[in-house]
Amino acid sequence: MTSKLEQLRSMTTVVADTGDIEAVRRLKPVDCTTNPSIVLKALGTDAFKDAFQEAITWGKAKGGQDEAVIGAIADRMAISVGAALAELVPGRVSTEVDADLSFDTKASVEKAHQIIAGYKERGIEKDRILIKLASTWEGIRAAEVLQKEGIDCNLTLLFSKAQAIACAEAKVFLISPFVGRILDWYKKSTGEDYTSETDPGVVSVRAIYDYYKANGINTIVMGASFRNAGEIEALAGCDRLTISPQLLDELNAAEGMLTRALSPEKAKAEPLVSLDEKAFRWAMNEDAMATEKLAEGIRGFAKDLGTLRGQISKALAA
């Protein structure tokens, strides 16, 4: 019998949630996703030592310690990681807009344009890239603008159906509903343990998937942020799943039958909903988990981005 990973590949597009070049080469995912934490970790490895130094040299030639230059150097480093991954996967690479722009639509659009231009300088066209934005109201509006320009987006830090509905109305290419972070919140809040079937993160992604498929919404659902292989198995059949190398290896070593859990044919019929800004913000206000995890996620990514900028500043001064 084939491994559970190979069985999963037959019903779901497998994406690697990593900047680890060797892991991507070994596991052969279709796409790769990155975020500031992944980029920061990747740039600390020998594989990107030269890329880090190249970006610093480039930055010094641009004027050194200016805040805008430091930001441009950080972008250049993120694109270096993304470009290396793009050489290894046949599909898309997601690159994230700065977390500290999560509440600024105009600046997010401008940053996305800069990222796309940076990839184009390296011969990588926009159809290989997904611009990753936090699923704030402002981030969703930025994605709406970019999608109309033909720039596909990946809306991340998505914890609620309200966020998913707003993304669908904006005609976003792909959403990344988080699973493990939802589970973390509920375990801490209730003190309970959950099975793969009762896991609140799994339940959330299944509800979003059913809503999309029942209403003919083309936005791709890509489950993300997994804590264990059981969560992944419970979402087998989802459009895409972005998985860490550790869990990909675990699935690759696992034998036994993997049953498809999600399919368009089994989607439960639901009425189509429309959310304006007021309704969206109220729905988020009523969902303590989604509000808290969204804010926490933005803070975490912003912190890692700040760490990277600090390293750049130190290297420029050296």
Q: Distance of alpha carbon 73 from its chain centroid, rounded?
A: 22
CA distances from 23 to 17, 20, 58 (A): 10, 5, 29
> 205: Cβ–Cβ under 8 A, 6 or more apart, which residues?
177, 179, 221, 223, 235, 238
Q: Which residue has the tokens 């904006």?
A: 170
Q: Which element (helix H / strand E) includes 133?
A: strand 129-134
Spacing of C-alpha 155 from chain mean position:
7
- C-alpha count within 13 angstroms, C-beta hemisphere, residue 238: 31
Instruction: For residue 132, indicate whether it is catalytic.
Output: yes
Residues 6+ apart with CB under 8 A from 198: none
The one catalytic residue in 4, 111, 132, 213 is 132
| Spatial contact of 60 and 125, defined as CB atoms under 8 Å apart | no
Quote the strand ranges of 26-82, DSSP E.
31-33
Spell out the residues 6+ positions from residue 201 whose beta carbon is closer than 8 angstroms to its own: 178, 179, 180, 181, 182, 183, 225, 231
Nearest residue to 129 via CA among 94, 167, 96: 94
Taking Cα atoms as reference points, which of 240, 314, 299, 317 lies closest to residue 11?
A: 240
Which positions are annotated as active-site residues? 132
